[in-house]
Structure 1
Amino acid sequence: MAERVVVLGASPKPERYSYKATQMLTEYGHTVVPVNPYHRAVAGIHCQPDIASVDGPVDTVTVYMRGELLAPHMDALIGLSPRRVIFNPGSEDEGLARELRARGIVCEDACTLVLLRSKQF
């Protein structure tokens, strides 16, 4: 089933995993909302400057930024009410995950690319 997926820390650099995830999510039929304050578009998709700028329902947030960079935006992330948050390798933060779980949000330490390829997304 197609989801609306926010990619936090999306990059326009093709060698970055966040770019690859943005592309692959789109290829798999998901609606992707890239978020990065420094870029206007990622993989041809309009980029939101911050989490607070994302409107509408969100199924999954996939994180490609370190926990200390995400922490100041936790209220906005919680406000999205995603069903789950995926912490990709290098972005894991148990304290933030614990806070999200306490609010009923499923958290996974996983790789979005692997989840997609293995049909576990």
Structure 2
Amino acid sequence: MKNKKTLVLGASTKPDRYAFKAITALVEKGHSVLAIGQNQGEVAGISIRTKNIPLANIHTVTLYLNPARQRDYYNYIVETQPKRVLFNPGTENPEFYQLLELNKIKYEVACTLVLLATNQY
């Protein structure tokens, strides 16, 4: 299995949150994970940062932020030049799709947890 370096945006230390479950599942599947959220903390050994950190060689950005909160990260994500951006359920954002297309960044409307569970990640 290939390690796909993943940035989880909207990370949470609350076990009932999908972002928390995604970080845990990504780590279990052997992917390297970076996490940015509103509050600092740790999930599955991954530190959650509250500020944008310089990123390189990111394969996937998986979003757990509603469209209004995504706006603050548009430039950050585009500058990072990931191979793809995953829009999890509830994060769908046609405005952002257009920006990603303009910058030749692929995106999928898909659930990270489902992709991992079905070996399609």
The two structures share one fold, judged by TM-score above 0.5 = yes
The sequence identity of aligned pairs, in percent, is 36
Contact 1:12 1:43 in 2 (8 A): no
Partner SS, residue 22 of structure 1: helix
Q: What RMSD in Å do the two structures reach over aligned CA positions?
A: 1.2
User: 5+ residue gaps in structure 2?
Assistant: none
SS at match of 1:82: coil
| 2:98 equivalent to 1:94 | no
Number of the residue aligned with 1:57: 57
Deviations 1:21-56 (A, max 9, x none): 000000000001111132232333111223x31422
Give SS of 1:53's match: coil
Q: CA deviation at 1:75?
A: 0.7
How many angstroms apart in 2 are the aligned matches of 1:42 and 1:35? 11
Contact 1:97–1:107 (CA under 8 A) maintained in structure 2: yes
Query: How many residue pairs end up in the alignment?
Result: 120
**Are 1:34 and 2:2 an aligned pair?**
no
**Contact persistence 1:48–1:54 (CA under 8 A):** no
CA contact (8 A) 1:6 1:34 kept: yes
Find the aligned partners of 1:27 and 1:40 in 2 and give their Cα distance: 18
